[in-house]
Amino acid sequence: MVSLEYFGKAPDSATEVVVSFTEEEGADPQKQTFVSGGDAREDETIQSTLVKIIERADAKTVTEIEGISTL
């Protein structure tokens, strides 16, 4: 399972994204944070990396926390 959560100082701009992935049921999730100078949701490099992580994890489920969490 992979989950994505976007963070920012304002509710309309995400400056970072945290990817959490669990390889097997009951295991502790591994987390990785990516920071963008602009909006991480529109950063092509970050988005491409997220797709690669999801593919490599062979994720059956991907969830995204709705909205932008405040830093």
Specify the 3-state DSSP secondary structure of 14: coil
**pTM of full prediction above 0.75:** yes
Q: What is the pLDDT of residues 11-55, one digit of tens each?
A: 999 999 999 998 788 889 999 999 999 999 999 999 999 999 999
Encoded tokens for 65: 């926390």
The residue extents of the domains of the chain are 2-70
Please determine, for residue 3, whether its predicted confidence score (pLDDT) is greater than 90: yes
